[in-house]
């Protein structure tokens, strides 16, 4: 198929519509999980297909897309003029996510902060890429620090061994053994090193592999997954009440601290916790254990950090494992009863469950899934847990600084037995809060509507303009935890909690 020689400018802002996965009518979850409105992704045209379609690889996922027609004559007169699709196999492209629902739509754009140039296409805004070796006479034009190390932006992955990077409006080629592990838009450091005939830009930062979690490493934790409320009830029953504690001579102060933490994580019948108590429950649940340890290492004299660390559930369980391991070593083989072995396994199983929650929090960001916080259900006297789904909403404006508050979507589900199921979706910002409640009973809906005004007034005292909407549905289903399904099958859709 002949590719017309057409300026790349004609492609900018053209829409690229995703039709399906390469071998499936479904759009792959691995790609869909990367999509956020406004996000720029790098892709490559793998193969041109008939009827204006192409196989395109985006973020390592292959999809079938409908190409934009840039022939103005054919757009208004189908059948009289042939459409023109000025893309070819092997060509690199950049796309910006226009929308995700109901089907993803991408817009062709120039690369991050730069008009790009592909072989066979030119634009009046593109710049030539500098050669790998910069001659001495040209080097003096660059403004460099004494060590000649500068941060640069990855502009394009040229191949598996090479990147193009941008510095001071100029583009340079650098070699990298693992170029495919970088992404366009990443910030890396290069050093201009002196060679025989000039200076050579050398990449000194390896790709950030440590920050990305391989999902295969998490799957072994899945059998230990236990909701926080149930975990607390089991630890209270199987650990605090176990005869093995006395047999192993565990220090009473460690047992007492564990008891106090489990009591704080256990809902009190007839008493609703306030915001500080809920925050304290999340903090004691072990989700932030490693960050507390890091804080203590940097501030060893800070008494507040020491106190928080002493009350952390994961830290207490790890201390209990160490204490029991020391005691078991002092026991003869005959005295190491099955009861002690099961006791130790129960504690390790609980630690695995907490670590799964910790890893899930990191993977949530990595896989574009909502963050899930587990809170013991204060409306239930048993071991139920409320899962609070939280997703930052980037579509309502950019935060001005690190401390600025953003916009968030939240969702959670309540099973209130005789009152039926209730699902709450909320959208919260610095000055506004909108709440939608889905219920199964008309009487419950009427009660909520009658009392919504009081709630809105209370929120007004907290400088939040609030609206409450309540709808009745025949069946209200729980909020789906897509992350766990993703870990098992990699075939899920993105959870939307927007109202």
121-166 tens-digit pLDDT: 333 223 344 445 666 666 667 777 777 788 888 877 776 677 788 8
Distance CA(311)–CA(317), nearest Å, equals: 11
pLDDT digits (tens, 9 = 90+) for 195-217: 877 788 888 866 554 456 666 66
Per-residue pLDDT at 115 exceeds 50? no
Residue 460 contacts residue 466 (beta carbons within 8 Å): yes
> Got the DSSP string for 213-272?
PPHHHHGGGGGG---HHHHHHHHIIIIIT-THHHHTT--HHHHHHHHHHHHHTSPPTT--
Closest CA to 41 of 51, 49, 52, 30: 30
Answer with the residue of higher pLDDT: 200 or 112.
Answer: 200
Q: Which fold has domain 136-203?
A: OB fold (Dihydrolipoamide Acetyltransferase, E2P) (2.40.50)
Residue with tokens 């802002």: 13
Average pLDDT of the chain, as a whole number: 76
Question: Residue 390, preceding bond cis, omega within 30 degrees?
Answer: no
Q: Which two tokens stand for residue 339?
A: 């009861």
Per-residue pLDDT at 467 exceeds 50? yes
Between 338-366 and 289-298, two packed helices, what is the crossing angle to 10 degrees? Answer: 80
pLDDT digits (tens, 9 = 90+) for 364-409: 776 677 888 888 888 776 678 888 888 887 654 445 544 566 788 9
Least confident of 21-25, 106-110, 317-321: 21-25
Backbone angles phi, psi at 218, to 5 degrees: -90, -30
Distance CA(62)–CA(46), nearest Å, equals: 8
Per-residue pLDDT at 119 exceeds 70? no
- Of the candidate CATH numbers 3.30.300, 1.10.150, 3.30.70, 2.40.50, the domain formed by 8-109 belongs to 2.40.50
List C-alpha distances in Å: 306 to 297, 317, 318.
Answer: 10, 16, 16
Domains 8-109 and 393-499 agree in fold: no
The CATH code that applies to domain 393-499 is 3.30.750
Least confident of 274-283, 331-340, 488-497: 488-497
List C-alpha distances in Å: 496 to 29, 297, 474.
Answer: 14, 39, 20
Residue 162 contacts residue 174 (beta carbons within 8 Å): yes
For the chain, the maximum distance between any two Cα atoms, rounded to a whole number of angstroms, is: 92
pLDDT of 290 reads 85
pTM of full prediction above 0.75: no
Distance CA(446)–CA(453), nearest Å, equals: 12
List C-alpha distances in Å: 2 to 71, 85, 122.
Answer: 14, 10, 18
- Residue 48's SS3 state is strand
Distance CA(151)–CA(189), nearest Å, equals: 4
Residue with tokens 């176990």: 242
Q: Which two tokens stand for residue 396?
A: 């309502």
Least confident of 74-78, 145-149, 313-317, 321-325: 74-78
Show me where the domains of the chain are located: 8-109, 136-203, 213-365, 393-499
Of these ranges, 218-227, 348-357, 390-399, 481-490, the one predicted with the greatest mean pLDDT is: 348-357
């Amino acid at each position: 198929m002949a590719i017309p020689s057409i300026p790349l400018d004609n492609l900018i802002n053209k829409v690229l519509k995703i039709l399906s996965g390469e071998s499936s009518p479904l759009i792959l979850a691995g790609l869909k999980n990367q999509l956020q409105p406004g996000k720029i992704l790098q892709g490559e045209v793998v193969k041109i297909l008939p009827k204006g379609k192409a196989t395109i690889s985006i973020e390592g996922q292959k999809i079938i897309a409908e190409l934009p027609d840039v022939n103005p004559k054919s757009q208004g007169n189908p059948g009289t003029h042939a459409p023109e699709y000025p893309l070819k196999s092997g060509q690199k492209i950049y796309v910006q996510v226009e929308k995700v629902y109901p089907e993803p739509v991408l817009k062709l754009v120039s690369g991050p902060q730069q008009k790009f140039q592909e072989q066979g296409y030119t634009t009046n805004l593109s710049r030539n890429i500098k050669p790998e070796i910069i001659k001495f006479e040209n080097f003096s034009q660059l403004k460099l620090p004494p060590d000649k190390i500068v941060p640069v932006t990855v502009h394009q992955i040229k191949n598996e061994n090479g990147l193009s990077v941008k510095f001071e409006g100029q583009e340079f080629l650098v070699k990298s053994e693992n170029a495919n592990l970088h992404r366009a838009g990443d910030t890396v450091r290069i050093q201009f090193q002196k060679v025989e005939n000039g200076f050579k830009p050398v990449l000194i930062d390896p790709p950030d592999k440590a920050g990305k979690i391989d999902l295969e490493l998490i799957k072994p934790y899945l059998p230990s997954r236990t909701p926080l409320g149930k975990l607390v009830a089991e630890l209270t029953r199987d650990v605090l009440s176990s005869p093995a504690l006395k047999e192993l001579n565990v220090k009473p102060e460690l047992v007492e601290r564990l008891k106090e933490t489990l009591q704080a994580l256990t809902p009190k019948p007839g008493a609703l916790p306030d915001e500080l108590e809920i925050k304290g429950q999340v903090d004691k649940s072990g989700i932030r254990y490693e960050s507390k340890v890091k804080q203590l290492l940097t501030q060893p004299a800070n008494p507040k950090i020491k106190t928080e660390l002493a009350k952390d559930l994961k830290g207490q369980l790890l201390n209990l494992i160490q204490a029991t391991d020391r005691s078991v070593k002092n026991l003869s083989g005959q005295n190491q009863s099955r009861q002690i072995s099961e006791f130790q396994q129960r504690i390790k199983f609980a630690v695995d469950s907490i670590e799964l929650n910790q890893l899930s929090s990191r993977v949530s960001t990595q896989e574009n899934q909502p963050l899930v916080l587990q809170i013991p259900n204060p409306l239930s006297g048993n071991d139920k847990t409320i899962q609070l789904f939280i997703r930052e909403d980037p579509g309502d404006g950019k935060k001005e600084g690190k401390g600025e508050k953003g916009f968030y979507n939240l969702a959670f589900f309540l099973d209130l037995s005789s009152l039926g199921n209730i699902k709450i979706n909320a959208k919260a910002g610095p000055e506004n809060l909108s709440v939608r409640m889905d219920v199964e009973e008309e009487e419950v809906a009427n009660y909520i509507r009658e009392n919504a005004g009081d709630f809105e007034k209370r929120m007004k005292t907290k400088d939040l303009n609030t609206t409450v909407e309540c709808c009745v549905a025949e069946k209200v289903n729980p909020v789906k935890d897509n992350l766990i399904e993703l870990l098992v099958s990699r075939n899920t859709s993105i959870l939307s909690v927007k109202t």
